[in-house]
């Protein structure tokens, strides 16, 4: 595996692991940023949805009834509140091209250490559009910043919601 | 292209440090314990475990860092055999921060003492080779008094040979 086959992004979130897991999964649309940089297919609004079970789909939905949706991937491992693995692809991926995202939720001093590891990039050719012409550290930082922005938004959402429901920092009902 | 972008991001100063550290994860831990740093961004690590980018804040100031990437010519003071830059930290209690930094594993490379120009300072060299000049302003000293004390210091240094 090369240094740029996997990108890991981690952040401490001030809520317990069970809450962090719920925020990441059930509340995914509340924090997943909008616009062409973060959402998958045009028009870049819509709703992000994660079906909460092994085999469930991660979807970018515009109109589910009309079938206007993009399947980002499927849940490979569903182990609340500690671990989640799903496949991840862009619209530009060929059917046999796939990457994997593993998310872990570990107890930390301040709440939960959320770690996203996005791997499998070595399987994509160097001129793949998903690479945006980058390799090595530049590619790691490019992909890493994408997750870093999303995790920062998830953290802000989790800590804001925690604060409004229970100022003492207890688990939300 | 959006036209309402912020040319200067919030939370930054005109000059912001970006340091290369051998063992960036340990360094972040040290800066938290020694200087009360907080990690302000998600940490980005590559497939071999090297930190590609991390950001901390010490007081109101941003310090960005990454592990060594020798293939890009990005190496740390430890690999260079010295550090030609030092960071000056202005804090209200230099003695307390120096003690805290030493307890965290820093070396006191210049003792904490009052300077003729009105600051109380000391220098910590951290386990990664970076030098931090800690300073607290303790006395407003006039130009004349600074000149007088400077001359006196030179005289006593000359007398000491």
Percentage of the residues of chain B whose pLDDT score is greater than 90: 88
Would you place residue B1 in the very low, low, confident or very high pLDDT band (cuts 50, 70, 90)? low
User: Cβ B42–A11 below 8 Å, yes or no?
Assistant: yes
Name the pTM for this structure.
Answer: 0.89
Contact B42 A6 (CB under 8 A): no
The residue among B20, B18, B124 whose CA lies nearest residue B77 is: B20
Q: Tokens representing A117?
A: 């590891």
Which pLDDT band holds residue A171 (cuts at 50, 70, 90)?
Answer: very low
Which single residue is written with the structure tokens 């990039």?
A121
What confidence tens digit (pLDDT) does each residue in B23-37 have? 999 999 999 999 999
Residue A136 has pLDDT above 50, yes or no: yes
- Indicate the pairing of strand B61-67 with strand A83-88: unpaired
Mean pLDDT of B4-33: 94
Q: How many CB pairs under 8 A join A and B?
A: 58
Provide the ipTM. 0.87
> Fold for domain B17-160?
2,3-Dihydroxybiphenyl 1,2-Dioxygenase; domain 1 (3.10.180)
Give the pLDDT of residue A167.
44
Which is nearest to A78 in space by CA: A115, A147, A25, A30?
A: A25
Distance from CA of B115 to the nearest CA of A (A): 40
Residues of B with CB under 8 A from a CB of A: 39, 41-48, 50, 52-53, 69, 71-72
CA A122/CA A5 separation, integer angstroms: 5
Contacts with A148 from chain B: Cβ below 8 Å:
41-42, 44
Domain A6-165 in CATH: superfamily? START domain (3.30.530.20)
Q: Does A1 touch chain B (CB under 8 A)?
A: yes
Q: Which residues of chain B make contact with A140, given a CB cutoff of 8 A?
A: 44, 46-47, 52
Q: Where are the domains of chain A?
A: 6-165
CA distance B146 to chain A (A): 47
Interval A43-69: pLDDT, tens: 888 999 999 999 999 999 999 999 999
Given this model, what pLDDT does residue B109 score? 98
**DSSP structure string for B118-155:** SEEEEEEE-TTS-EEEEEEE-----HHHHHHHHHHHHH
Q: Which of A4, A9, A151 to mutate to test the interface with B (most CBs of B within 10 A)?
A: A9
């Amino acid at each position: 595996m090369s240094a740029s086959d996997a990108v890991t992004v981690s952040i401490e979130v001030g809520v317990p692991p069970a809450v962090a897991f719920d925020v990441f999964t059930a509340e995914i649309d509340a924090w997943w940023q909008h616009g062409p940089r973060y959402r998958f297919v045009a028009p870049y609004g819509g709703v992000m949805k994660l079906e909460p079970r092994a085999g469930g789909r991660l979807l970018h939905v515009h109109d589910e009834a009309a079938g206007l949706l993009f399947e980002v991937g499927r849940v490979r491992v569903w182990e609340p509140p500690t671990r989640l693995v799903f496949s991840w692809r862009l619209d530009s991926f060929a059917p046999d091209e796939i990457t994997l995202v593993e998310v872990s939720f570990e107890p930390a001093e301040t709440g939960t250490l959320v770690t996203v590891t996005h791997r499998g990039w070595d399987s994509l050719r160097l001129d793949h559009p998903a690479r945006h012409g980058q390799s090595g550290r530049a590619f790691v930082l490019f992909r890493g910043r994408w997750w870093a922005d999303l995790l920062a938004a998830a953290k802000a959402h989790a800590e804001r919601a925690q604060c409004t429901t229970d100022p003492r920092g207890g688990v939300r009902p | 292209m959006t036209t309402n972008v912020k040319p200067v991001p919030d939370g930054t100063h005109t000059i912001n440090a970006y340091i290369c550290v051998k063992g960036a994860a340990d360094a972040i831990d040290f800066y938290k314990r020694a200087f009360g740093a907080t990690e302000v961004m998600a940490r980005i690590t590559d497939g071999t475990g090297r930190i590609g980018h991390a950001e901390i804040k010490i007081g109101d100031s941003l310090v960005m860092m990454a592990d060594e990437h020798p293939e890009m010519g990005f190496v740390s003071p430890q690999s260079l055999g010295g550090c030609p830059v030092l960071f000056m930290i202005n804090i209200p209690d230099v003695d307390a921060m120096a003690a805290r930094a030493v307890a965290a594993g820093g070396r006191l490379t210049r003792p904490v003492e009052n300077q003729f120009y009105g600051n109380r300072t000391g220098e910590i060299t951290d386990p990664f080779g970076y030098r931090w000049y800690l300073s607290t302003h303790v006395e407003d000293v006039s130009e004349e008094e600074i000149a007088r004390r400077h001359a006196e210091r030179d005289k006593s240094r000359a007398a000491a040979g």
